[in-house]
A and B are shown apart, each in its own frame.
Chain A
Amino acid sequence: MEHHLQRAISAQQVYGEKRDNMVIPVPEAESNIAYYESIYPGEFKMPKQLIHIQPFSLDAEQPDYDLDSEDEAFVNKLKKKMDISPLQFEEMIDRLEKGSGQQPVSLQEAKLLLKEDDELIKEVYEYWIRKRKNCRGPSLIPTVKQEKRDGSSTNDPYVAFRRRTEKMQTRKNRKNDEASYEKMLKLRRDLSRAVTILEMIKRREKSKRELLHLTLEIMEKRYNLGDYNGEIMSEVMAQRQPMKPTYAIPIIPIGNSNQFKHQEAMDVKEFKVNKQEKADLIRPKRKYEKKPKVLASSAAAAPQQMSPAALPVFNAKDLNQYDFPSSDEDPLSQVLSGSSEAEEENDPDGPFAFRRKAGCQYYAPHLDQTGNWPWTSPKDGGLGDVRYRYCLTTLTIPQRCIGFARRRVGRGGRVLLDRTHSDYDSMFRQLDLEMLSSPQHSPINQFANTSETNTSDKSFSKDLSQILVNIKSCRWRHFRPRTPSLHDSDNDELSCRKLYRSINRTGTAQPGTQTCSTSTQSKSSSASAHFAFTAEQYQQHQQQLALMQKQQLAQIHQQQANSHSSTNTPQGFVSKTLDSVSAQFAASALVTSEQLMGFKMKDDVVLGIGMNGIFQASGVYKGLHLSSTTPTALVHTSPSSTAGSTLLQPSNITQTSSSHSALSHQVTAANSATTQVLIGNNIRLTVPSSVATVNSITTLNARHIPRTISAVPSSALKLSAAANCQVPKVPSSSSVDTVPRENHEAEKPALNNIADNTVAMEVT
């Protein structure tokens, strides 16, 4: 231990006894610099407030170099020749020093560095170079040695204030540091993604502008050529076909291909627009070559993006304008808006029509994932839980029977009643609870068991009594909440199955009738309905359709249409007994659905094309063979529907106004996975528009094709019923809302399409 410290410590330990000679000696310091007063500037008044220094106020632009005596002599000497002040000299030296690295700057460089006259620069430069050579330090401005890059200065004691290059170990707040580091990384990723997206948007907008310009150019050229009917255009298009692949919208090689999918859609649409502008028809075959490609690519590009609701529903408005999707809109949403717009115009749902909400993102239903709901039939991937079968349901308040319904638990534990349509609905309403409660066992099998038997003119009263009998004999299950008299004891498998089947039948009865009714309704509906067809058909049938528009709905036409459709092939238009016009139209209607199915077969999703209302011809043809089951299905099922139809027949004419929406529904249903499903969709879609029509048609069908009854494939029936069950899962599409309306209350607009499932409760 050091001598002095030892002494001091021992002195200190005897507290308070520290003597002066026990202090540790230090080198002496003088404190009487005589010239201090003269060299330091004068008075400095203490500010009243605490001194607060402004950041960066310290960086006064003063030269770091300080003139020494030698310099002073030089400057004084130089002053005689030229104009120079000490400060100016210092500034010059400062610049020269700071401009130099290991090697001093050259005179040429010095001249660039300094703003003084060349003469002065030369003098000062030479002086500086000389002085620097003699200088022992690396610079005339003495500075603390810096570390060397190569790390060789680790040991040099004169190197100080090295940079802390390594990141200091984070200790106490290591967790925070890591978390914030992660956040920064994520932020960086996100920002770079944003940059990519903006880049893509830029390219897209550029392409759109280019497209617009090109279209404009084409129009101008055509105008100049006098190509008013599009002949030149179509020729050119035909010539261009082989080169099509080169005519590609720039594809950004990013996984997300939303942008060009709609570019392609636009491409098609534009084409359509061009045609639309022409007064005359374009020869359709030209287009056949082009379209498949578009369809294939766009359908493949974004399968999930497509929505059934957005299939080709077109109106003149869409066609007559350049309807580019806006930049900030997803192509899908554009599609959806287009379709709902079209519907609104025709107003099928009135105030309950589906409207897109601003700021909402709408996704297409995942059709490939349908099912696995307990109420979905096993065929559609559901569990087909018997608990969810439809059964006759009676509400306690108000006390009345609402027909067939099934219960399930919805969100938040709500009990939802999904109602389905049956032809007895009108009768069910008349069912009195008192009647039900009285135990009476007089089963009438013929009515309850088979729908075949009740195909035609059953009187209402008889039906009712039969139903009652069925219910009471527990052949039909009847659900009445908390009614003591309800007896479920003999709830055996058989009765369940019977009921199930009969419901299925009643359900499936509609597809056939529906298709037919659609076709008949279409005749009388406005032209907008036609846009659901392919352009080819549109052209093919334009004249016929024009005729049809004028027609009023007539029973005879329906008959003919139905009978024809049962034997239908698209080519087989030549009717045996039918009025050819209506027959053709019926055929075209079928073709439409077949087309859709054809699309279905090609790809699950057809939305992008559907938007433009242009279907590929190939799609049509493919659809034909695929849809071969459709007519038969229609025929088969139709007889099973039934009673009460006669009552309603008169109303079918008044229902036609909404028929086009039925058509559009049918179209939108094109995404369903199988033909059967399609039929099922048709059922529920069209029922709301006019049950009466359905029924009347059904009746007719039944009359015309009684022989096919035996051939009804039960699987098909079940499937179609299952298709009904799917409905609740497609909430955003316009077809959703139909289920609750599958009853005779169609005329009551109280059904809300949004709250489709809960409505059943409210309606009562």
Chain B
Amino acid sequence: MAEVGEVIEGCRLPVLRRNQDNEDEWPLAEILSVKDISGRKLFYVHYIDFNKRLDEWVTHDRLDLKKIQFPKKEAKTPTKNGLPGSRPGSPEREVKRKVEVVSPATPVPSETAPASVFPQNGSARRALAAQPGRKRKSNCLGTDEDSQDSSDGIPSAPRMTGSLVSDRSHDDIVTRMKNIECIELGRHRLKPWYFSPYPQELTTLPVLYLCEFCLKYGKSLKCLQRHLTKCDLRHPPGNEIYRKGTISFFEIDGRKNKSYSQNLCLLAKCFLDHKTLYYDTDPFLFYVMTEYDCKGFHIVGYFSKEKESTEDYNVACILTLPPYQRRGYGKLLIEFSYELSKVEGKTGTPEKPLSDLGLLSYRSYWSQTILEILMGLKSESGERPQITINEISEITSIKKEDVISTLQYLNLINYYKGQYILTLSEDIVDGHERAMLKRLLRIDSKCLHFTPKDWSKRGKW
């Protein structure tokens, strides 16, 4: 039994947590930070094997001090050797990192490595072979950065394309912790999940007030009220390219509308772990999905997209704001992104790494979309219908690799007697039909008014 005062960073102990079923649980957690507010000690805890977004400040009464494990003095080998997992920096490793920065052999905290999970075969093994927790795109400059890091200690600037970082090695104690306690946006109060570089002086506030239309941040309700007298926006400041019912999509150019794009990114960063705000928003377009009511067009979610992607990305970051999650909006956003790709006549794929939620949403979307096509196939003259992967890809604009991985993931594709056979089991068909019944929100391509621009001939920066 230890005293509260002895609890320091790096300690591990069970912490009381109420799960979504309102049941008390005592998952093992690690103390990441301790602060003292008017004599009351608060501990920033990370629940081991839980996503970082559930990290929180807790009071001492939620700590099970009886089972505390103090950090060992010497650096030890990682508990889960080689396996990507939820690993916030333990104090030793933190110390170690501070001293010698990051040596490639040291496993780096990376609580989410969803991409390694994503392809069930092959990729996962590759992930093991690669740096644990550092799965990155093949052309990522990460290795170079690492070597630079270990050599001169000054991390180089990240690559300038894309919007996500897969390499969390630059995470420090600041970015590992949420810095905004609460955000008020319209009629919602949001609890941020991750760090976001809002102005530092605002991070101490109990609530950050955002204008729900221009997303400008203010420090107080008074400021928001004052701002609202001056702000006459009632919708995202872009062109509406889609409207069906109350759902609209607005297109915003990251170069022409900097302040909105930046505000949107700051907000999105609160909910996207791997999003980087290192560089400006110029090379991106932002597609903001809104829901209309009498007050105006309220932001529901958005996705950003590189004006010119060299890697077939049709989505950079994608987010449904927490109040709207689990209601089909995410899939709607994904569907819209593929509609755009269809208009462009390209196939696309989301930028990696996908977050856990993103992965689930995409996989669900891919499954439903592909199954929709497969089940719609009519047999010709009694023979079994045939379709190629390429055809599926062309119809859906889903990149071929994603089609294949989805088919494999659903275990639909089998190699039988010299050819590939797609087998749809009863379970699959039933499950799909049930899922489609629930999927009421769909994109109507007739409502899309979108002309793709050739950004190679424009200034995209």
| Chain A positions near chain B (C-beta within 8 angstroms) | 1-5, 8-9, 12-17, 21, 23-33, 35-36, 39-44, 46, 50-53, 55, 58, 60, 62-63, 66-69, 72, 86-87, 90, 135-137, 142-145, 154-155, 157-164, 166, 168, 171-173, 176
Tell me the minimal C-beta distance from A15 to chain B in angstroms: 4
| A15-B425 Cα distance, complex, nearest whole Å | 11
Docked CA distance A28–B19 (Å):
11
Do the beta carbons of A29 and B20 come within 8 Å of each other?
Answer: no
Q: Is the CB of A15 within 8 A of B432?
A: yes
CB of B310 within 8 A of CB of A39, answer no
Pick out which of these stretches binds chain A: B71-79, B199-207, B341-349: B199-207
Q: Identify which of A28, A50, A72, A137 contacts B239 (C-beta below 8 A).
A: A50
- Contact: B461 with A168, CB < 8 Å? yes
Complex Cα gap A25–B53 (Å): 9
B199 and A143 within 8 A (CB): yes
Q: Are B277 and A160 in contact (CB under 8 A)?
A: yes
Which of B19, B51, B199, B220 makes the CB contact (< 8 A) with A144?
B199
Indicate if B82 sits at the interface (CB-CB under 8 A): no
Return the contact of B292 from the options A21, A46, A63 (Cβ within 8 A).
A46
Contact B228 A39 (CB under 8 A): yes
Contact A39–B221 (Cβ < 8 Å):
yes
B239–A51 touching, CB < 8 Å: yes
Q: Is the CB of B50 within 8 A of A173?
A: no
Flag B156-170 by CB within 8 Å of A: 1 or 0 each.
110011000000001
Chain B residues close to A by CB (< 8 Å): 19-21, 49-51, 53-54, 56, 83-86, 111-114, 117, 154-157, 160-161, 170, 172, 174-175, 184, 186-193, 195, 197-202, 204, 212, 217-228, 230-232, 234-235, 237-241, 243, 248, 250, 256-258, 262, 265-266, 277-283, 292, 294-296, 308, 310, 322-323, 325-326, 356-357, 359-360, 363-364, 367, 409-410, 427-428, 430-432, 434-435, 449, 456, 461
CB distance from B382 to the nearest CB of A (A): 29
- Nearest 5 pairs of A and B residues by beta carbon: A16-B431, A137-B201, A27-B191, A66-B223, A160-B277
In angstroms, Cα B111 to Cα A176, docked, is 42
Give min CB distance, B322 to chain A, whole Å: 4
Given contacts A2-B51, A3-B50, A5-B112, 20 further A-B contacts (CB under 8 A): A5-B359, A9-B117, A23-B326, A24-B51, A26-B325, A27-B192, A29-B322, A40-B296, A41-B295, A43-B294, A50-B449, A53-B239, A60-B232, A67-B222, A68-B226, A135-B201, A136-B200, A137-B199, A142-B201, A172-B310
CA distance A25 to B22 in the complex (A): 12
Closest A residue to B47 by beta carbon equals A3
Asked whether, in the complex, the Cβ of A27 is within 8 Å of the Cβ of B322, the reply is yes
Contact of A32 among B187, B294, B427 (CB under 8 A): B187
A72 to B212, CA, bound (A): 23
Please indicate the chain A residues that have their CB under 8 angstroms from the CB of B193 in the complex: 26-27
Is the pair A157, B279 in contact by a Cβ cutoff of 8 Å?
no
Contacts of B198 in A (CB 8 A): 142, 144
A contact residues around B410 at 8 Å (CB): 15
Query: How far apart are B395's CB and chain A's nearest CB, in angstroms?
Result: 21
Known contacts being A26-B53, A39-B221, A69-B222, is A142 close to B279, with CB within 8 Å? no
CA distance A29 to B428 in the complex (A): 34
Q: A162–B280 contact, CB under 8 A?
A: yes
A161 touches B262 (CB 8 A): yes
- Given the known interface contacts A67-B226, A72-B222, A155-B170, the answer about A40 and B310 at a Cβ–Cβ threshold of 8 Å is no
Q: How far is the CB of A86 from chain B (nearest CB, A)?
A: 7
Cross-chain pairs A/B with CB under 8 angstroms, 8 sampled: A26-B54, A31-B189, A50-B240, A50-B243, A50-B449, A68-B222, A166-B160, A168-B461
Do B228 and A67 touch across chains, with their CB atoms under 8 A apart? Answer: no
Given the interface pairs A25-B20, A172-B310, the reply to whether A16 lies near B239 with Cβ below 8 Å is no
Query: Are B197 and A160 within 8 A (Cβ)?
Result: yes
Chain B residues in 8 Å Cβ range of A63: 230
* CB within 8 Å for A15 and B367 given contacts A58-B237, A90-B226: yes
B128 to chain A, nearest CB (A): 12
Given contacts A5-B117, A29-B188, A33-B189, contact A44 B225 (CB under 8 A): no
Given A4-B356, A9-B360, A16-B427, the answer on whether A157 and B197 have CB atoms closer than 8 Å is yes
Are the CB atoms of B266 and A171 closer together than 8 Å?
Answer: no
Of all chain B residues, which has the CB nearest A49?
A: B240
Q: Tell me whether A3 and B49 are in contact (CB under 8 A).
A: yes
Of chain A, the residue at the smallest CB distance from B456 is A173
Complex interface: chain B residues within 8 A of A52 (CB): 239-240
Known contacts A5-B356, A50-B243, A155-B170; decide if A33 and B187 are in contact (CB<8 Å): yes
Chain B residues closer than 8 Å to A58, beta-carbon distance: 237, 257
> Could you tell me the distance between the alpha carbons of A160 and B217 in the complex, rounded to whole angstroms?
15
Alpha-carbon separation in the docked complex, A171 to B160 (Å) = 13
Identify A21's interface contact among B21, B230, B283, B435, CB under 8 A: B21
Q: How far is the CA of A21 from the CA of B25 in the complex (A)?
A: 15
Among A41, A60, A63, the one with the most B-chain Cβ atoms within 10 Å of its Cβ is A41
Chain A residue with Cβ nearest B251? A53
Return chain A residues, CB-CB under 8 Å to B85.
1-2
Return chain A residues, CB-CB under 8 Å to B21.
21
Q: Compute how far the CA of A68 lies from the CA of B200 in the bound complex, rounded to whole angstroms.
A: 18
Q: From known contacts A26-B193, A58-B237, A144-B262, infer whether A154 and B174 are also in contact, taking CB-CB under 8 Å.
A: no
Q: How far is A25 from B23 in the complex, measured between Cα atoms in Å?
A: 13
Q: Which residues of B contact A160 (CB under 8 A)?
A: 197, 262, 265-266, 277-278
A24 touches B222 (CB 8 A): no
Q: How far is the CB of B219 from chain A (nearest CB, A)?
A: 7
A24 CA to B265 CA, complexed, in Å = 23
B234 and chain A: residue at smallest CB distance: A44
- A16-B435, A29-B191 known; A51 vs B50 contact (CB < 8 Å): no
A16, B240: Cβ atoms under 8 Å?
Answer: no
Residue of A whose beta carbon sits closest to that of B281: A161
Contact between A154 and B155, CB atoms less than 8 A apart? yes
Contact of B357 among A24, A40, A46, A60 (CB under 8 A): A24
Cα–Cα, bound, A33→B49 (Å): 33
Q: CB < 8 Å: which of A40, A42, A50, A158 contacts B212? A: A40
A87, B231: Cα distance in complex, Å: 13
> Which of B84, B86, B117, B280 is the one whose CB lies under 8 Å from A161?
B280
